[in-house]
Amino acid sequence: MKRLEDLFIRSEKEFKFYQNLVDHVFETNKELPQQVFRKTFDCFLFQEFDWALSDDILPTIKELSTVTQDRVFLTAVLQPDPTAYYLKEFGYYHWLKASVNISGEDYVNALWMHPKGFIADNIITNSNIVVWLSHSLQWAIWADRDMEICIIGMVSTKDSAKNMLLKEGWKPLDHPVLAKWLQLLLKDQKTFDDYFTQMLSSYA
C-alpha cells in the first residue's frame, strides 16, 4: 500500500497527462447549469456535493470500474487552480490518483491530508469544483460546492450501470428531491425556474 501522501500527483509530466484527460471530458471554462461535459455522455444522474467528497462515492466508482475495467481513478480539484494556487504554494497538485480498491478509510484520510501548517488546505475543505474520472473515459463526475450538487455523466451502453447507481442513491433529473435541493439555494422563484430550465436543456 502506498503512503497516502504518495497518492498526490507531484510531477508536471504526470499532471499534464491527467489534465489532458480532464480537458477531453470536461468544458472546464463552463459552470452549471451549462453543459460541463465535453464528451458525449447520454446518461446523467445527480447527488449532493458533500456525499461525493466522502467514502460514500467509492461503491459507485468501484462498480463502474468493474464494468469499464479501470484500475485507477482520479480525484481532481479544478478550483482553486491546481497550478496557480496549490502547486505554487505547496509544491504539489491537489489531485489524487488512487486504486479503485482503496479502502474508504484511506480515501477519506487522503481527502483530509493537508500541507504542513495549512490545515484548511485539504481537498474536503478547500475545493469549489472537483471532478472524478478514469482512463476509460466511459464515466466522469463533476461536483460544484456553490450549488451543493454533483453530476455523473456516462455512456449508457447498459441499463445495468444506471440501475446500479440509482440503488447507490443517485437521482435522475426529474426526481422531486433534486428540485427541492436547488430551490433551497435559489430562493427566488424566477431564478430557480430559469436555472432549472437550463439544467433540463443541458442534461435531460
Q: Are 113 and 42 in contact (CB under 8 A)?
A: no
Tell me if residue 78 falls in helix, strand or coil.
strand
How does pLDDT run across 144-170, given as a tens digit for each residue? 999 999 999 998 765 678 888 999 899
Query: What integer is the mean pLDDT of 94-120?
Result: 94
Q: Which residue's C-alpha cell is 446523467?
A: 44
Confidence of residue 92 (pLDDT cuts 50, 70, 90): very high
Tell me if residue 83 falls in helix, strand or coil.
helix
Q: Which residue's C-alpha cell is 442534461?
A: 203
φ, ψ dihedrals at 174, nearest 5°: -90, 10
- In order of 37, 39, 145, 172, 201, the CA distances from 125 in angstroms are 25, 29, 10, 27, 31
pTM of the predicted model, to two decimals?
0.95
